[in-house]
Structure 1
Amino acid sequence: MAEPAQQPRAARTGAGRPKVLTSYDPRTGEVVGDYAIMGAGELTRAVRAARTTEQWWAALGFAGRKRWLLDWKRAIARGTRELVELISSETGKPRMDAAVEVTLAVEHLDWVARHAEKTLGRSTRSTAWFRHGRDGSIGRLPLGVIGVLGPWQNPVLAPMNSIASAMAAGNAVVFKPSELTPGVGAWLADTWNRLSPNQPVLQVVTGDSSTAAALCRARVDKIAYAGSAAGAREVTALCAQTATPLVIEQGGRGAMIVQVDARLDTAAAAAVYGAMANAGQHPSGVQCVYVADSVYEPFLEMVAYHARKLRPAADKRASYGPMVLDAHLDVVRRQVRDALTRGGRAVVGSLESIREPYIEPVVLTEVPEISLAITGEAVGPVLIVNRVASMDEAVERVNAPERVLPVAVFTRDIRSVPEFADRLRTELVTVNATPVYGIHGPGRIRDPQSLLEFARAQAIIDKRHREPVGLSTFDNHPQRLRLARALFRLRHKV
């Protein structure tokens, strides 16, 4: 929500027509498409249609929904080239990055389609020891209608984590894409509608932040949001007005820890990619690297080498594209200036690297932990590399921020990572890889939790045999109570 409230860099040319949302290519300023700005009336009709079709969709069962979802997966896969071009046009990211995003989204759709029944299907549960006469089972049923709010940085992968999981669980979905990428959202809904024109299990509603607010107030059964911390606060406040349940995938670039035994060139290349892919506008990745003192100098040299090879531009051979939001250019300028003022040193680039609409790679070192470049949200191709005297110091620095962010650990001693990770205050640790495409919220790729978020538990208890201690009656004879006490003492040795 907070991201779309800002204007895209090229949107200045699109003033007028208040009921039309114009999507622009941030690389050229050319119009990609025009879309309706939908209001409360359109949202009400979409949710009403979803309520009707949700009953049909839920009644299909896991096997029936699996067939539909796998057909949808194949339709998306066949249209990959078209979708990749559309993502590149609306976000400015290179086609390779867009292709990786689409591939991961298709893989997640395939996974939830095939694993929904195993994760959510009814299973037996043992009852309490003194009630062996009862058999129980737990099943998980759809919530109903799910509203999904997607970000612009990963306009397919991030929302697909929720869309695919919600649909596999038996829900209908109303999807509001970012106002910067409405075409991608419309494309996804169109592929579904071509398969099932009479059953709008997936609908898209386009518009600005007012449309997103209307969806939050539309009394759907749950809202799924992926995006920034500021946007999460807005969505939380809106959902609170109607007591609508909310699941949040909050983005944020994290930290990397390079231990003394790491493969330095691999770690350096990963750090640069994690910080600068998509011009540093990824919702996850690397903001700061903490390097063991003994390998700091060679690591920094390798980082500088990889960073200097990158070239931002609009052509097909560019390493990454432009900054999409004007406000983010100002954020990067302010953070770099603050880091240098506080004693940080520029290894690659400088303030002169910020040349609208592009930012050339910037690598900083010796940056104080209180600098805005570390405490603020990373939104550009800037990487900070700081040395640490020990891994204890690295843990202390990683755990210092209030935000819980992903951590990448580079080491050859893989077996030591779980013990080391136990000391880190994070939900996601990647080993010898950066979490650029790893969603670290409840909707993580190939995680059963992504399915459980969109289902409600239902228990069935069936009394088939006589209970050894009959306590479910008013016929509480003292002999029964003495028997229950005796069995309790015997079981718990009291």
Structure 2
Amino acid sequence: MATDHAPLPTYTAARGSVLPASLTPTLIKRLAERVVAAVDAARVGTNAPYTGEPLADLPVSTPVDVEDAYARARIAQKSWAATSLSQRKKILLRFHDLVLARQEEALDLMQAENGKTRRDALLEVVDIAITSRYYARNAARYLEPKRRRGAIPLLTHTTELRHPKGVVAVVSPWNYPLSMAAGDAIAALMAGNAVVQKPDTQTALTALWSLDLMHEAGLPAAVWQMVVGRGSSIGGALMDNADYMMFTGSTASGRKIASDAGRRLIGASLELGGKNAMIVLDDADIDRAADGAVAACFPSAGQLCVSIERLYVAESIRDRFVDAFVARTKQLKIGAAYDYSIDVGSLTTPAQLQTVTAHVDDAVAKGATVLAGGKARPDLGPWFYEPTILADVTPDMTLHEHETFGPVVSIYSYRSIDEAIAQANATPYGLNASVWSGNGARGRAVAARVHAGTVNVNEAFAAAWGSIDAPMGGMGDSGLGRRHGADGILKYTEPQTIAHQRIQGFTPPASISPETWATLLTGALKVLKAVGVR
């Protein structure tokens, strides 16, 4: 049976009712004008999560606008692909500098559109700076022509080339409006592609800001364009004209995109949902693990694809860990402020608040115990919800297996490592996971058994995400393809093999009979094996 809510912490009152000075009507209007849409286009409004008040008025793109964007992109892409890697590198490094120099504007935009804290918004600025620098300085080693071993040593000269796909469609979400918008475009652009992007309408200004800065850095017009509208309206035009699709969003939408991409025989990279697990081993430092759990569960109000929603704790340390985790959660400051004083911000939309509320209420009605939080905070703003910890969660509760995408985590206990791993893997998803142990080798061994694309040891998600030289993406229902590292840029290219055969190939010369040729060829293969040729 559910118990009464634990005593609630004293939360910081909202101070975000006034937009920061940087977000002037002139800036908002200038960014909105970058949307590819007709002069007399219909308009759509967005609201600021901190207050629910109107924020932006954006033109709505039509399928014809999308097709026009592609037509311009195809023309621009040809000259962009002919631009040297060194010149593309200079543009990305200038973009890197501009993002850092103008970060206050970006932070204000992200907070105003998404409702996240300034601390969480700063991580997006850092992420885009790292991504820009990485692909600017490493693209050449991935993209330049590479000699490959030929069919016949010394006689076959084989080269692998990498050509851009053409025009890449990027569909980016609202929860990380700078990281997901600019991050996926950066690699595609560096590979020589043009990009037509549909950012989520709610956070389109942040995406448009990154486009504005990229043009200021020197990116030619029409190489990267943005359209705004519902997927049900312009999604078909985006898919039907794309040479490759990069999508971040729900698993249901990802399945539809994968089907459409298969029909068109184009590639697609899909980062989808997750129900991420954290395993706390019996030798973990409890204080450090409790701090890690806070960092794992509540950033961006839990609206993070790699955040933790399931927490498995060794039975022998469960009570001590829960006490430490609950105490830290109750100390979090929730509210709205355009500074670094707040720990947890607002949910982004009324729909997200509705989902979080429904999941928690359903769990409590069916017997879950609320250890912290558990309710909305309309006194702070229209879409705030307390950081919430639940115990006694059972399979009949909606949030047991379905992604909540909010500041809610369920705690379970286990008796053996095998049991912990089995519980962590008991999901169709496989995006991210976290393992905590006082022994690094033991933690890594457990991590290797978890079915997830990234697993962090003694960290929540930042270690794997920030290791940009390594691939990041999901298994199972969490998606296809990877971003970051070699995979993150090579997926936007078509490999081509050019093999130049010198003197003699596999066809016997006229002076040698087929039988003799077969004998010679067989002997040559045996010699190659004997001398260690790969």
Q: TM-score, normalised by structure 1?
A: 0.89
1:330 maps to a residue whose letter is Q
Contact 1:405–1:427 (8 Å) recurs in 2: yes
2:354 aligned partner: 330
Aligned to 2:201, the other structure's residue is in SS state coil
Instruction: Report the Cα offset of residue 462 of structure 1.
Output: 1.5
1:479 aligned partner: 516
* Equivalent position to 2:282, from 248, 260, 264: 260
* Equivalent position to 1:206, from 215, 224, 228: 228
- In angstroms, what is the RMSD of aligned CA positions? 2.6
Query: Which whole-Å deviations, capped at 9, do the CAs of 1:24-69 have from their partners, x for residues lacking one?
Result: 2111123222111001121111111111111111111221211122
- Residue correspondence of structure 1 range 7-406 to structure 2 within 5 A: 19-128=42-151, 130=152, 132-196=154-218, 199-210=221-232, 212-240=234-262, 242-316=264-338, 317-351=341-375, 357-406=383-432
Query: Which whole-Å deviations, capped at 9, do the CAs of 1:235-288 have from their partners, x for residues lacking one?
Result: 334545544432111242411011111121121122122211121111221001
Residue range with higher mean Cα deviation, 368-377 or 137-146: 368-377
2:429 maps to a residue whose letter is R
Residue range with higher mean Cα deviation, 332-341 or 423-432: 332-341
- Evaluate the alpha carbon distance shift between residue 118 and residue 489 of structure 1 in structure 2; reply closer, same or farther with a 3 A threshold: closer
Does residue 409 of the first structure (1) align with residue 435 of the second (2)? yes
1:291 maps to a residue whose letter is V
Contact 1:21–1:36 (8 Å) recurs in 2: yes
Residue range with higher mean Cα deviation, 132-141 or 165-174: 132-141
- Residue correspondence of structure 1 range 433-452 to structure 2 within 5 A: 433-435=459-461, 438=465, 440-441=473-474, 446-452=484-490
Aligned to 2:202, the other structure's residue is in SS state coil
Percent identical pairs in the alignment equals: 26
2:415 maps to a residue whose letter is A
- Evaluate the alpha carbon distance shift between residue 340 and residue 197 of structure 1 in structure 2; reply closer, same or farther with a 3 A threshold: closer
Instruction: Report the Cα offset of residue 343 of structure 1.
Output: 3.6
Instruction: Report the Cα offset of residue 454 of structure 1.
Output: 0.3
1:41 maps to a residue whose letter is V
Instruction: Report the Cα offset of residue 297 of structure 1.
Output: 0.8
Instruction: Report the Cα offset of residue 374 of structure 1.
Output: 2.0
- Evaluate the alpha carbon distance shift between residue 218 and residue 189 of structure 1 in structure 2; reply closer, same or farther with a 3 A threshold: farther
Residue range with higher mean Cα deviation, 212-221 or 181-190: 212-221
CA distance in 2, matches of 1:38, 1:210: 12
- Evaluate the alpha carbon distance shift between residue 315 and residue 123 of structure 1 in structure 2; reply closer, same or farther with a 3 A threshold: same
Aligned to 2:435, the other structure's residue is in SS state strand
Contact 1:217–1:241 (8 Å) recurs in 2: no
Aligned to 1:181, the other structure's residue is in SS state helix
2:497 aligned partner: 459
Instruction: Report the Cα offset of residue 354 of structure 1.
Output: 8.4
Contact 1:332–1:379 (8 Å) recurs in 2: yes
CA distance in 2, matches of 1:69, 1:278: 27
- Evaluate the alpha carbon distance shift between residue 223 and residue 235 of structure 1 in structure 2; reply closer, same or farther with a 3 A threshold: same
Residue range with higher mean Cα deviation, 404-413 or 202-211: 202-211
CA distance in 1, matches of 2:426, 2:213: 45
CA distance in 2, matches of 1:387, 1:453: 40
In structure 1, stretches of 5+ residues that fail to align are 1-16
CA distance in 2, matches of 1:474, 1:325: 79
Instruction: Report the Cα offset of residue 22 of structure 1.
Output: 1.4
How many residues matched? 475
CA distance in 1, matches of 2:173, 2:154: 50
Contact 1:161–1:443 (8 Å) recurs in 2: no
CA distance in 1, matches of 2:452, 2:192: 31
Contact 1:176–1:185 (8 Å) recurs in 2: no
Instruction: Report the Cα offset of residue 326 of structure 1.
Output: 2.3
Instruction: Report the Cα offset of residue 320 of structure 1.
Output: 2.0
Instruction: Report the Cα offset of residue 77 of structure 1.
Output: 2.2
1:333 maps to a residue whose letter is T
Instruction: Report the Cα offset of residue 346 of structure 1.
Output: 1.7
Query: Which whole-Å deviations, capped at 9, do the CAs of 1:149-189 have from their partners, x for residues lacking one?
Result: 00000011123332011011111111111011111121111
2:421 maps to a residue whose letter is V
- Evaluate the alpha carbon distance shift between residue 421 and residue 198 of structure 1 in structure 2; reply closer, same or farther with a 3 A threshold: closer
Contact 2:347–2:406 (8 Å) recurs in 1: yes
Contact 2:275–2:401 (8 Å) recurs in 1: no
Residue range with higher mean Cα deviation, 372-381 or 110-119: 372-381
Residue range with higher mean Cα deviation, 62-71 or 477-486: 477-486
Instruction: Report the Cα offset of residue 474 of structure 1.
Output: 11
Contact 1:253–1:287 (8 Å) recurs in 2: yes
CA distance in 2, matches of 1:256, 1:393: 13
Q: TM-score, normalised by structure 2?
A: 0.83
Contact 1:133–1:466 (8 Å) recurs in 2: yes
Contact 2:375–2:386 (8 Å) recurs in 1: no
- Evaluate the alpha carbon distance shift between residue 473 and residue 306 of structure 1 in structure 2; reply closer, same or farther with a 3 A threshold: farther
Aligned to 1:433, the other structure's residue is in SS state coil
Contact 1:47–1:218 (8 Å) recurs in 2: no
Contact 1:280–1:381 (8 Å) recurs in 2: yes
Contact 2:169–2:245 (8 Å) recurs in 1: yes
In structure 2, stretches of 5+ residues that fail to align are 1-39, 466-471, 475-479
CA distance in 1, matches of 2:483, 2:501: 39
Query: Which whole-Å deviations, capped at 9, do the CAs of 1:176-216 have from their partners, x for residues lacking one?
Result: 11011111121111122334475322111122324541443
Contact 1:109–1:160 (8 Å) recurs in 2: no
Instruction: Report the Cα offset of residue 103 of structure 1.
Output: 1.1
CA distance in 2, matches of 1:472, 1:454: 42
